[in-house]
Amino acid sequence: MKIFRKIRQAFIQKGNLTKYLWYAIGEILLVMIGILLALQVNTWNENRLKRNSELTYYSNIKNRIIDDKNLIHHQINYNNRYTAQFNYANDIIEINDRTKIDTLGKIAKNLTNYSDFDGRDNIYETMVNSGEIKLLGNYKVIEGIRDLEERYLYINRMENIHYDAMMTYVIPSIYPVVKFSTGEVQKPDALYTFEFQNLILSLLRIMDEKDDIYNATVTQIDMLLTLIDKELDKP
């Protein structure tokens, strides 16, 4: 600044107004360039910090939905295991195979088992309420999170239906028929009625629908993971 001041004073003393004006314009431009560069650096730094925060949230979301995916796979296997058992029980009843009474009794006891993912971690709602949703620049990821939560709600609804059916119909039906501790049948004829068969078929319909939404949710998670990985891999 001392050098600039000396230059200005020299122009003024010499009475060279034209050179002074050009110098003044140049000095103003230099100051403006300096300000613009400072603003640009500040903007770049803010964008860098924002991007780092965005990547952190992407990474956190990825870890959470990977955990959910693993839990859902566990529920799929659990649900399928008992689906196979209940289908076998239906076949026994359908052909009235009395030699399989002990097997039917053990399966009847297992009618109280049901898969329960219980996906109540509302990622999208939490991010909206906290304002963190504004940090995510990829709209498709945001839509994917919202769609995923809708599937979680569907899963919870089906699991609640299954639980209510088990408490309302299954337990009252098998409580006086099968000894829970051993699966020993106390009233064999009761297990071969069409009412009991209808109960099994009703549970199977619920379990089939649960399997469909479980697998659809896993597919949705895989699609969302692909979108997030693309963001994490960006330079």
3-state helix/strand/coil string of 86-107: HHHHHHHHHCCCHHHHHHHHHH
Give the count of domains, the chain: 1
Nearest to 158 by CA among 227, 71, 75: 75
Cα-Cα end-to-end distance for the chain: 40
The pLDDT tens digits for 71-116 are 999 999 999 999 999 999 999 999 999 999 999 999 999 999 999 9
Q: What is the mean pLDDT of residues 168-189?
A: 91
Q: Quick check: is 5 in a domain?
A: no
In a domain, 45, yes or no: no
pLDDT of residue 118: 77
In a domain, residue 104? The reply is: yes
| pTM score, whole prediction | 0.79
Q: Is 171 domain-assigned?
A: yes
Does a structural domain hold residue 173?
A: yes
Question: Domain for residue 188, yes or no?
Answer: yes
Evaluate whether residue 105 is within a structural domain: yes
Domain span at residue 108?
61-233
Q: Report in angstroms the alpha-carbon separations of 145 from 74, 127, 150, 217, 235.
A: 21, 10, 9, 11, 23
Average pLDDT, the chain: 85
In a domain, 175, yes or no: yes
